[in-house]
Structures are given as C-alpha cells and as structure tokens.
Structure 1
Amino acid sequence: MAEIVNLRLARKARKRADAEQVAAENRARSGRTKAEKRATDDAGHRLTQAVDGAKRET
C-alpha cells in the first residue's frame, strides 16, 4: 500500500528546503572579501567587452 503523506507537512518541508538553498547561495555570495568581489566583477566586465568586440556589424 502507498504511504500516507500529510500535504501540509510536505509543503512546509519543501518551503524550508528552498529557503535553505537560497540562504546557502546568499552566504556564498556575501562571504567574500572586497578583492574577490572586485576580481569577479572585473572578469565579467572583460568577458562582456570581449564578446561585444567580436560581434559583427549587420
């Protein structure tokens, strides 16, 4: 037979898991030094410039 599941508890558990995932992402993003943040931003900026510079005019 199938196991009986309380939908209210399952919904709350899923919400807690989603919140934990968001919190982990925020901790990873915020737990960096100023130099690390600047290096990441600079790398993204260089990549954007390289892609834009390689585009052909239509």
Structure 2
Amino acid sequence: MSDSMVNAASSASANNPVPLVMLRKSLDLQAQSTLSLLQAIPQPASVNPAHLGQNVDVKA
C-alpha cells in the first residue's frame, strides 16, 4: 500500500472516519490472509540422512 493512499485516508478521517476504518479492516484482512497462506505451505522433508550433522570435527 502506498503512502499516498494512507495519507489520503488519514486526511479524510478528519471529516469522515469511515475511510480510515475501512483501510484498517482491509489491512487486517490482508494480514490474516497472508498468514493463512504461509501456514499452508508444507514443510520440506529432510533430504539428508538422520546421522548427518550429529558430530563436529574439532581437530581440523
């Protein structure tokens, strides 16, 4: 969302608070939708065997 849209909604809220309320609701809805989409992404399966990464070579 551009700064000009936020500024326009903010200046309009002095006379009429409805545009600012609608902007906030729209941003909240977008945030919820984005969070839902991110949570729906499946976690990648490990491609390495389980024993890899268990030991550290400190003598190198």
Q: Which structure: greater helix fraction? A: 1
* TM-score for both structures, normalised by structure 2: 0.43
- Bigger CA radius of gyration: 2
The structure with higher relative contact order (CA 8 Å, sep 6+) is 2
* TM-score for both structures, normalised by structure 1: 0.44
